[in-house]
Amino acid sequence: MISAIDLSHKALRWQELIQSAAQSIRPVVQLSDQQRLVWLDLSGANTRLAAIQVADTGGLDAFICAECSRQEGIGGIGGYMEDRRLYLRSAVFAGEEHRTLHLGVDIWLPAHTPIYAALGGRVHSFADNAGFGNYGPTIILEHQLEEITFYTLYGHLSRQSLLELEEGKPVAAGEQIASLGTAEENGDWPPHLHFQIMLDMEGMKGDYPGVAAPSRADYYRLRCPDPNILLKFPL
187 pLDDT above the threshold of 80: yes
Dist. CA 227–CA 234, nearest whole Å: 12
∠ CA 22-200-195, nearest 5°, is 55
223-232: b (≥16 Cβ within 10 Å) or e: bbbebbebbe
Strand (E) or helix (H) holding 143? strand 136-145
Helices (H), the chain: 4-20, 47-50, 57-70, 217-223, 228-231
Cβ-proximal residues to 76 (8 Å cutoff; 6+ apart), any chain? 37, 38, 39, 40, 64, 67, 68, 106, 107, 108, 192
pLDDT in the model for residue 52: 84
Backbone angles phi, psi at 144, to 5 degrees: -130, 120
For the segment 8-31, what is each residue's pLDDT rounded down to a tens digit?
A: 999 999 999 999 999 999 999 999
pLDDT in the model for residue 235: 57
- From the list 227, 234, 218, the residue with the least C-alpha distance to 105 is 227
pLDDT in the model for residue 229: 92
Q: Choose which CATH entry (2.70.70.10, 1.10.1740.10, 3.40.50.2300, 3.30.365.10) describes domain 4-231.
A: 2.70.70.10
At residue 205, the 3 state secondary structure works out as coil
What is the average pLDDT across 198-212? 97
Please state the separation of Cα 121 from the chain's center in Å: 18
Which pTM does this prediction carry?
0.96
The length of the chain is: 235
In whole angstroms, how far apart are CA 181 and each of 72, 74, 153? 24, 17, 15
